[in-house]
């Protein structure tokens, strides 16, 4: 592959701007047998906490029109198992690893960031201040500028890795949160996490998720995500990694035009786990045919006087 797709996100350089989204592509190692994950711009691994977590009671996913609800609750193998067992495999596979981290306090986020700082093969940290499916931390850190910048600063102070802060669409003033995390030292913003939703089985009259509510993702949220990327792009100077319902090249281009410098593919992985690599190929073809780079499209939506 030529380097026409290479993107620079602050201090993070990726071979291409297509990343698989946290929680929708496992730890990446599960895909080793049937695709070359080193061809992805990056893999944002399932959110890692200091200790293993079992997550929420089942059922934890259900289909909804144009998307899905999930209430996984950040079930994960924890820091030690991830670093000892998973990272060596990811290194061997040549994957570009973005570690998505989750803590219940500023101190837990800082501890995780400090420990990952010296782990070989970690390209960047993605700080999840936006999970809607946990009682402590999660979305609560992402809905106020003060707490979002507090977590960002706690992580920034203890790591030299690029810091990506993942925003929640449920913040009232997302551009304001974007500015707050930028001022607190974030290298990039990723957005958006899921929206809290609920679905009820009208026969049993029971919620379709064990945790009652869950996070909505998939094409149903794409116009909301595009709108939010567009708004945050106008408020910040750091790069944005956009996501929300991306399922094909056209969707990726839409996010670039709105202001994203790179994107993540999430729910679409559940219908086709090779979709992100296919999009890399299609994007390369698109850029070569036009003699452009992804960066040439960023923020280039034409809205006349409004922009």
Catalytic residue numbers read 131
Binding-residue pattern over the window 59 to 98 for ligand FMN, x denoting contact by CB under 6 A: -----------x-x-x------------------------
Distance CA 97, CA 107 (A): 23
Which residue, 293, 283, 196, is CA-closest to 19?
Answer: 283
Residues in 198-217 that interact with ligand FMN by CB under 6 A: 217
Are 157 and 145 in contact by the 8 Å Cβ rule? The answer is no
- Sign of torsion over alpha carbons 264, 228, 213, 52: positive
Q: Concatenate the DSSP letters of all residues of 171-203 into one string.
A: -S-HHHHHHHHHHTT-SEEEE--PEEEE-EETT
- Position among 86, 96, 128, 168 found at the interface with ligand FMN (CB under 6 A): 128
Least distance to ligand FMN from the beta carbon of 228, Å? 11
Size of the site for ligand FMN (CB under 6 A): 25
Q: Concatenate the DSSP letters of all residues of 64-86 into one string.
A: ETTEEEE-----B-HHHHIIIII
Of residues 133 and 182, the one with the C-beta less far from ligand FMN: 133
Are 100 and 79 in contact by the 8 Å Cβ rule? The answer is no
Binding part of the chain for ligand FMN, among 33-41, 233-241, 260-268, 272-280 by CB under 6 A, reads 260-268
- Position among 9, 12, 19, 21 found at the interface with ligand FMN (CB under 6 A): 21
Binding part of the chain for ligand FMN, among 89-97, 154-162, 262-270, 290-298 by CB under 6 A, reads 262-270
Q: Cβ contacts of residue 236 below 8 Å, gap of 6+? A: 175, 178, 179, 182, 189
Tell me: does residue 50 bind ligand FMN (CB under 6 A). Answer: no
Contacts to ligand FMN by CB under 6 A: 21-24, 46-47, 70, 72, 74, 100, 128, 131, 166, 193-194, 217-218, 221, 243-246, 265-267
């Amino acid at each position: 592959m030529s380097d026409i797709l290479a993107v620079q996100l602050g201090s993070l350089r990726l071979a291409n701007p297509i990343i698989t989204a946290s929680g929708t592509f496992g730890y990446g190692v599960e895909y080793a047998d049937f695709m070359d994950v080193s061809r992805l711009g990056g893999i944002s691994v399932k959110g890692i906490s200091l200790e293993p977590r079992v997550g929420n009671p089942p059922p934890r996913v259900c289909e909804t029109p144009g998307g899905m609800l999930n209430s996984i609750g950040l079930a994960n193998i924890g820091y030690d198992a991830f670093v000892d067992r998973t990272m060596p495999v990811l290194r061997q596979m040549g994957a570009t690893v973005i570690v998505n981290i989750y803590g219940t306090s500023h101190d837990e986020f800082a501890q995780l960031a400090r420990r990952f700082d010296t782990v070989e093969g970690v390209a960047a940290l993605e700080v999840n201040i936006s999970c809607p499916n946990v009682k402590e931390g999660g979305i609560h850190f992402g809905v106020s500028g003060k707490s979002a910048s507090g977590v960002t600063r706690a992580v920034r102070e203890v790591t030299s890795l690029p810091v990506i802060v993942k925003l929640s669409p449920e913040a009232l003033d997302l551009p304001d949160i974007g500015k707050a995390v930028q001022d607190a030292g974030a290298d990039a913003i990723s957005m958006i996490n899921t929206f809290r939703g609920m679905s009820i089985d009208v026969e049993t009259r029971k919620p379709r998720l064990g945790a009652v509510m869950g996070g909505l993702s998939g094409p149903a949220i794409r116009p909301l995500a595009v709108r939010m990327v567009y708004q945050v792009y106008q408020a910040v100077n750091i790069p944005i990694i956009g996501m929300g319902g991306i399922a094909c090249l056209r969707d990726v281009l839409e996010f670039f035009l709105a202001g994203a410098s790179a994107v993540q593919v999430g729910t679409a992985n559940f219908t086709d786990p090779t979709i992100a690599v296919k999009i890399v190929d299609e994007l390369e073809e698109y850029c070569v045919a036009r003699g452009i780079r992804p960066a040439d499209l960023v923020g280039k939506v034409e809205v006349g006087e409004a922009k």
